[in-house]
Amino acid sequence: MSTSVLPESRPSKLALYLDLIRWNRPAGWLLLLWPSLSALWIAAQGFPGWHLLVVFVLGTILMRSAGCCVNDVADREFDKHVKRTAQRPVTSGRVGVKEALAVGGVLAFVAFLLVLTTNTATIAWSVLGLVLSLIYPYAKRHVSMPQAVLGVAFSFGIPMAFAAVTEAVPWQAWALMAGNLFWVLAYDTEYAMVDRDDDLKIGMKTSAITLGDADVPAIIAFYLVFLGVWTAVLWGLVNPLVWGAMLVVALAQVVWHWRLIKDRTREGCFKAFRLNHWLGFTVFVGVVLGLV
């Protein structure tokens, strides 16, 4: 009696591309989206209109997806030695380097077409934002806290939002961007804690390694600075009762994150990172309702 072995099915190109851009992991683009949408509402002092809403939502998704392509190409040799990333499409060889860069280029080009429907100021700032997103993957080789570089890149939707609404970038935009940078430091340090053992072996630089045993208290401090700066900037612009209620919910989430990361387990730190978009959403709701 003979038995036949069915050949192992290989994922389609579409499935590989969707994996390349982390389509099944929306937390990444949500982390980018909530600060940008908050800035849109603040700049417009209310609903910014459907055109800008669509441009920023789609543009955020496209640019984050393009960034994943560039990041995976830049880190393909390092990712082979990290448990969590060893099977990424580029690292495993299922998607070629030129192919991944082509996918990223197309996505970035479509995002730029969306920006072209706004104004000159937004277009100019988008070019600088693109440059920052290309620099970050290589910062991990040279900067002791590359998460700060990511913080600038991931916060750049804030000045772009103000430029799109008002054709100018006032000091409030830069202050909100600086505050948001600390939120990025908080959640990306949680992310870096997941891979700390592997990163130490391969010589990667991360905030989790640089901070050492101070990582957990530093993360909590980063969260508090983020909420404190946004509160200071927006206190005279939003309803204080609404904002105060938002802060209660946000601070409860900070406590929850502390509980998840305090033992520094891979599972707890990764869960904390993945759930950060709820904190961004909470602040966004506070902005929207606070401006009503």
Evaluate whether residue 8 is within a structural domain: no
Asked whether residue 1 is domain-assigned, the answer is: no
Looking at per-residue pLDDT, the higher value among 26 and 43 belongs to 43
User: With the CA atoms of 125, 222, 226 and 158 taken in that order, what torsion angle do they form, in degrees rounded to the nearest 10?
Assistant: 10
Residue 100 lies in a domain: yes
Domain total in the chain: 1
Beta carbons within 10 angstroms of residue 148's beta carbon = 18
Residue 110 maps to which CATH number?
1.10.357.140
Is 284 among the domain residues? yes
pLDDT digits (tens, 9 = 90+) for 48-88: 999 999 999 999 999 999 988 988 888 787 777 777 777 88
Confidence check: pLDDT of 258 > 50: yes
**pTM of structure:** 0.90
pLDDT at 9: 60
Residue 252 domain boundaries: 15-290
In the chain, the amino acid numbered 292 is V
Per-residue pLDDT of 116-129, as tens digits, reads 999 999 999 999 88
Answer whether residue 142 is part of any domain: yes
Mean pLDDT of 218-247: 97
Residue 9 belongs to a domain: no
